[in-house]
Amino acid sequence: MPEQPLTLDAVLTDEAVLSTYRRMFAALARDSGAVVDDPALVDIAETLFAAFAEAGEEWLTHEQMRFACRAYPTDQFDNRLRVLKGLGAIREVFPKPNQLRYRASFTSVVGLMFIRRMMDDGGQSEMHRLLALEDLNVADPRTTMEEAGQSAVNLTRAFRLWALELITLTMGTIEELREQAPKLWGTEEIARRAQGLHGTILTRWPELDRVCTDLRAAIYAYSDASRRAAGRLADSAGTTRNLTLLPTETWRTFAQTASRERLAAVLDGFVFDAPAPWHDPAAIARAVDEAPRPAPAQTTP
C-alpha cells in the first residue's frame, strides 16, 4: 500500500474509530487488550467478507483470500485470518479433514454493518429502529403488560445513560464533544417518538404509571442534555459554524502530548505566518512626527 502522509485529521479519525470499537465490545472483551489497535485490521475483515460475497457457492481457498487482501502486509493478513478463524467468523465449508475451502459467517457480516452505522451517527439510527420496533410491540394486541413494562424499563435505562453521557460531553473537552457530535443529530425526533411510545403504554396499561413516570423523566433529561450539548457545540464553531475546522484545544493538546517526531511528521508541509514585528513605541511616535504631510487642498472660491 502506498505510504500516505500523516496528518492530524488522520490521527484523530483513527483514534475515533478505535474508541468506537472499544466501547462496542467492552462488555464482551476478556481484557482491555482484546480489541484491535489498528483500523486496518477491520478493513482486512471487510475485504474478506466482500470477497466471500463475490465468490458465492465457490467459497474461497487460503490462496484466494490472500489474493483478495494482497494490498495488506502478509503478517497483518495472517494475524487477522487466525483471529477470524478462532472466533468462527471464517470457518471450513464442511467439517472434515484437509478442508481447503472456507466460508464467512453471516453474523459477523451483519455485526460489521451494525458497527459502521454506530460510527456514522453514534447510535441514532439504532435508536430510531428500536423505537419503531417498540411502537409495533406495544400496539400488538398479543403484547402483555409485563412485556410493555420491561420495554419501558429498558428505554428508561438507555435514555438515562445517554443523557449522562451528553452531560459529561457538555462539561468536558470540546474535542470529545466534536467527536461525539453525531449523537446530537435528530434528538428532537427521537424524543418525540419516545414520548409517543410512552403515551401508548400509559393508555393501554394505566397500572404502569410509575414505570412511565420514570421513562418520561428520562426522556426530558435526554432532551435537556442534548440541547445544552448542541449549544456548546455551536458556540465552539464560532461565527463560521464550520465544525470541520479543528478547535484550538485540539492543537494545544496535540502539541503538549505528541513526541517531537510525530509533531514534525504531522506539521510537515504546513506554512505558518511569521510573528508580527515588535517596534519601540518611541520609534513609532518619531516616525509619525517625521512623516511628510500632504498640503491641504485649497477650496474653490
- For residue range 249-270, list pLDDT tens digits in order: 667 777 788 888 877 777 677 7
pLDDT for res 2 = 46
Q: Where are the domains of the chain?
A: 19-111, 140-261
How confident is residue 216, by pLDDT bands cut at 50, 70 and 90? very high
The model's pLDDT over 65-106, given as tens digits with 9 standing for 90+, comes to: 999 999 998 988 988 888 888 888 888 888 777 778 888 888
Query: For 121-134, what is the mean pLDDT?
Result: 78
Q: What is the SS3 string spanning the chain?
A: CCCCCCCHHHHHHHHHHHHHHHHHHCCCCCCCCCCCCCHHHHHHHHHHHHHHHHHHHHCECHHHHHHHCCCCCHHHHHHHHHHHHHCCCEEECCCCCCCCCEEECHHHHHHHHHHHHHHHHCCHHHHHHHHHHHHHHHHCCCCCHHHHHHHHHHHHHHHHHHHHHHHHHHHCCHHHHHHCHHHHCCHHHHHHHHHHHHHHHHHHCHHHHHHHHHHHHHHHHHHHHHHHHHHHHHHHCHHHCCCCCCCHHHHHHHHHHCCHHHHHHHHCCCCCCCCCCCCCHHHHHHHHHHCCCCCCCCCCC
pLDDT at 244 over 60: no
pTM over 0.85: no
pLDDT at 48 over 80: yes
The model's pLDDT over 174-195, given as tens digits with 9 standing for 90+, comes to: 777 777 777 777 788 888 889 9
Matching CATH number, 19-111, of 1.10.10, 1.10.3470, 3.30.1460, 1.10.287: 1.10.10
pLDDT for res 266 = 72
pLDDT at 294 over 60: yes
pLDDT for res 33 = 64
pLDDT at 13 over 50: yes
Mean pLDDT for all residues in the chain? 79
Query: For 288-301, what is the mean pLDDT?
Result: 73
